Structure 1
Amino acid sequence: MGTPMRQLILKIESRCNLSCDYCYVYESIDQSWRRQPTVMSPETVGHVARRIREHAAQQGIDGLEVVLHGGEPLLAGHEAVAATLGTLRDALPGVQFLMQTNGILIDEEFLELFHRFGVRVGVSVDGGQEATDRHRRYANGRGSYDRIAAGIAKLMRPEHAAVYNGLLCTIDVRNDPVEVYRALLEFRPPKLDLLLPHGNWTNPPPQRDQALRYAEWLVAVFDAWYDQRPAPTRIRLFESIIARLFGLPSETEAIGGEALGIVTIETDGSYEQSDALKTTFEGGPATGLHVATHGFGDVLEHLARVAPARLPSACEPCPVAAVCGGGLRAHRYAEPAGAAEAGLPDPSPHSAGFDNPSVYSDDLRALITHITGRVRTDLAIGAAA
């Protein structure tokens, strides 16, 4: 029967109305977006629906998650979004919809669509105005915070609680971590995702040369969050680390190393691996497979061959390896001699490719060690009480 797909990421729109300088789709190594049609065609959506129905029958499942993504998915327009949702719902009534958006185009008509189809909406924002406008700008350089905040404010209305899924924040260690956390809490998100900016040994992330800057930033947010128990919002990165401490599954591909059964379909119908691989090399996410000719089982088998859930060899002695799982696969990449060219220590004797620790390995180890200490202290106190 094979591995069931857990989540389908559907690129219904390949362009964006913002020009964020850290964007891993438009501002990175892989520029395949330039060859993509702007909007996913009804024909391609029909192929996707057929593959969903086929996969559900093969696996004996009655539902799965479909994430409408982009680019900016709302640029596809009300009619295209409604038609896509309707076609997929007809194919599998138990399908669960999510969407990741910058929130700028959220209006009353989209809100009605979200409720009609049960779409849970996540919005990307990096904190308050200064933190968000540092990177999330229009092509003319104007900041986007005010319009993003206005979109989130619509989702925050009590009648929209069922469709407000949370926020995604890309970390910039130049921003005060606790200020960012408090600014995000003002939006009352049910869930927060904290995203390490994508980079690797060949193309390091910002401030990677400053030891443990990302760990220090995340530890400050963790302590502020953990000290508020019961926490006012879920933070998936922290919850996944704690889950792995107890041998439970992670909810993010950044932690744990599990094969998560995630499939991506671009607007032209081509299957791809994780978008994060756009930061590795041209064609990094490509599979060579297409929704018109290949089912989800074919894609999952392909991914198991080319991207097995395997701990990098250099990580095996690490005391937190069982929790970290080597980190995000894209963050392990190095071209031949790439690490040396970037002025960084060679991550392993076999640095070409992905058999390396994460470029964030020191930060992840420090963060996991800190969280482990706090959780163990609480468990000891609870046992002694």
Structure 2
Amino acid sequence: MRLETPKPGDSLGVVLKLPGETCNINCHYCYEKRKPYPGSSSLDPDTLHRFLELLGDRPLSVMLHGGEPLLVGRERIRSLLYVLRERSAPTSLSIQTNGTLLSDRWIDFFEENCPSIELGLSLDGDVEGNAHRVDYRGKPTFDQVVQSLKLLERRGWTCGVIVVVTRKLLGRHEQVIEELMKHPAIKNVKLSPCLDFNVTSKNHRGITGQQIKLLNSGQDLPGWATTPGEYAEFLRGSFRSWRAARGFDRFLLEPFVSIARAARGKVTNFTHFDYRKDPFIVTLYPDGRIGSCDELDMPDGLLGHVDDGISVDQLLARADGGELFGRLISLTQACEGCRVNEICRGGSLPDRLRYAAGGQSAEYCQARVDLIDSTIELMSANGGRQ
């Protein structure tokens, strides 16, 4: 497999970090909390305008992200939406929120200003599985997110849900699927891996800072993380539970949709199972920094700054010869000859970087092979229905 890089005019995914890392909750495993940030600020319309000029007329899939994007408020988001609407090129819009701040006023705002926006919430299954998602007092956020799902149902909105598969979910796939099935607003679910290895968190004050320190006390695997094999086993159990509950009539379940599409030679929307990977994702931070995929560590993932006046095509071409891209290319070259290469498509490059640094690439790859083999077997037993 060869790592693809964007050509001029190719569509890109754009992540706008509206408040930087600022968030109203303090999840133990949050990768944003581990990055170096110069200070707290919010993305302003002028910075966004200059950034969009550097992107040219290519199609964009724009995600409003954070931290927690709703913290910047309706007026700031309205001003950013105005800048995005000025683009003549195709521009789709989504927002990823922790779900604790949604309200009728926010739904009113979306219906007035961006009715086609796709909503994404974060909820790690049931109350026990969600226990790593806490506020700054160490209090769980589960009930607030459930109320937001009920609000969306009442207002006729749907959403996607990201479930981060931490150690708290292992062996509890039935309970996770059962909880997700309770909420008609959920139309797609992504079971996202938490394969943190050898991470270092910054020091945080308060009770959650103490909790994070205990969970991440110099271990290779932090207290919230799973191994690749554990994650794959959870996925297999989740597929069985989803199928048994006729979940396919309620919501799509990733990564199984992507595995099925990849097995048929089709493109997917999940970079873990697609050829278009992290170089096709560009992130804008409030201070004007431009980075690659936000899951890559900083400053390794830094491409440039809006004040440089260099087009994104030039930034990506310059990065293509850099140390980070060299490591990413090396990872994908190792895929040549693998029998599931055409389906696996290299996996998650940020996860692979961490595991390669720890000399555990073989464990990651074997878990992917086993997952793909078992998924295809399970789907065949289900008559090919996903």
TM-score by length of 2: 0.80
The alpha-carbon deviation at position 298 of structure 1 amounts to 2.5
Alignment gaps of 5+ in structure 2: 1-6, 200-219
What percentage of aligned pairs have identical amino acids?
Answer: 23
Greater CA drift, 306-315 or 187-196 = 306-315
Q: Are 2:120 and 1:122 equivalent residues in the alignment?
A: yes
Rounded to whole Å, the distance in 2 between the matches of 1:81 and 1:274 is 22
> Which residue among 271, 274, 287 is the counterpart of 2:293?
274
Q: Determine helix, strand or coil for the equivalent of 2:255.
A: helix
Corresponding position of 2:84: 88
The one-letter amino acid paired with 1:170 is V
Corresponding position of 1:294: 310
Q: Determine helix, strand or coil for the equivalent of 1:225.
A: helix
The alpha-carbon deviation at position 292 of structure 1 amounts to 5.6
**Contact 2:17–2:286 (CA<8 Å) still a contact in 1?**
yes
Rounded to whole Å, the distance in 2 between the matches of 1:137 and 1:76 is 20
The one-letter amino acid paired with 2:23 is C
Corresponding position of 2:372: 368
Corresponding position of 2:4: none
Q: Determine helix, strand or coil for the equivalent of 2:132.
A: coil
> Which residue among 163, 167, 177 is the counterpart of 1:169?
163
Q: Deviations over 1:80-130 (max 9, x none)?
A: 011111221123474221000011111222212222213211000111222
**Contact 1:200–1:333 (CA<8 Å) still a contact in 2?**
no
TM-score by length of 1: 0.81
Rounded to whole Å, the distance in 1 between the matches of 2:75 and 2:228 is 49
Q: Deviations over 1:171-220 (max 9, x none)?
A: 02432012111212222211111110142477546587868222211101
Corresponding position of 1:112: 108
Corresponding position of 1:140: 137
Q: Determine helix, strand or coil for the equivalent of 2:295.
A: helix
Rounded to whole Å, the distance in 2 between the matches of 1:267 and 1:370 is 43
CA RMSD of superposed structures (Å): 2.8
Rounded to whole Å, the distance in 1 between the matches of 2:183 and 2:383 is 32
Rounded to whole Å, the distance in 2 between the matches of 1:229 and 1:185 is 7
Rounded to whole Å, the distance in 2 between the matches of 1:148 and 1:185 is 15
**Contact 1:177–1:220 (CA<8 Å) still a contact in 2?**
yes
The alpha-carbon deviation at position 65 of structure 1 amounts to 1.6
The alpha-carbon deviation at position 49 of structure 1 amounts to 4.0
Matches within 5 A, 1:165-314: 165-175=159-169, 176-188=172-184, 189-200=186-197, 203-204=220-221, 212-227=229-244, 228=246, 230-259=248-277, 261-278=280-297, 282-290=298-306, 293-306=309-322, 307=325, 312-314=332-334
**Contact 1:259–1:309 (CA<8 Å) still a contact in 2?**
no
Rounded to whole Å, the distance in 2 between the matches of 1:174 and 1:292 is 44
Give the total of aligned pairs: 347
Runs of 4+ in 1 over 6 A off after TM superposition: 207-211
Q: Deviations over 1:61-83 (max 9, x none)?
A: xx532100001000001110111
Greater CA drift, 201-210 or 310-319 = 201-210
